[in-house]
Amino acid sequence: MKIRVGFGFDVHRLVPGRDLWLGGIRLEHEKGLLGHSDADVLIHAICDALLGAANMRDIGYHFPDNSSEFENIDSKILLKKTVALIAGKGYRVGNVDATVCAERPKLKAHIPAMQNILAEVMGVEADDVSVKATTTEKLGFTGREEGISAYATVLIEKD
């Protein structure tokens, strides 16, 4: 069996008037993430990690932010397409370890739902998807609640 590891990172600005989507679920919050799609930073980081592990460039290459096809798209669709892209090279998702960095909203109670939906979209067990949340202790753009970032590491496998 061949295995490969990938790393992804994404960040989006928080703005009023947008829904907040994280890990494939909508969260109640006074601001949402600004982006061409639904701006789900967690899913975008996972997509980049999967594509990187398969040596297939990045999310912007496959789903450009100047394409009307992807405007306001649900990022779960992008994740499903990403899993199909790596499958085209014979890879499947082994596991995901991801961290969301946000001051608010508090994410602890939402993590199981995120794990379940992400696992379903990727076709893996929920136990294969680790989602963690942290803050920056009020430092930087995250601490000032100007944006949210996410990091993801993935393992992909090929028989």
pLDDT in tens, 64-114: 989 899 999 999 999 999 999 999 999 999 999 999 999 999 999 999 999
Distance CA 48, CA 37 (A): 15
Distance (Å, whole) CA 58 – CA 72:
19
Share of the chain above pLDDT 90, in %: 97
135 is in an annotated binding site: yes
CA dihedral 40, 41, 43, 47 (to 10 degrees): 130
What percent of the chain is predicted at pLDDT more than 70?
100
- To the question of whether residue 59 is assigned a binding role by annotation, the answer is yes
Say if CB 50 and CB 43 are below 8 A apart: no
Residue 141: the pLDDT is: 96
The helix (run of H) or strand (run of E) holding residue 80 is helix 75-87
**Domain count along the chain:** 1
**pLDDT score at 58:** 96
* 11 is known to lie in a ligand binding site: yes
**How would residue 55 be classed by pLDDT, with cut points 50, 70 and 90?**
very high
149 is annotated as contributing to ligand binding: no
**Residue 8 is part of a domain; what is its CATH number?**
3.30.1330.50
Whole domain around residue 132: which residue ranges? 2-158
10 is in an annotated binding site: yes
39, 18 in Cβ contact below 8 A? yes
Q: Is 12 annotated as a binding residue?
A: yes
* Residue 141 assigned to a binding site: yes
Q: What is the pLDDT of residue 16?
A: 97
Instruction: Tell whether 100 is in a known binding site.
Output: no
In this prediction the pTM is 0.97
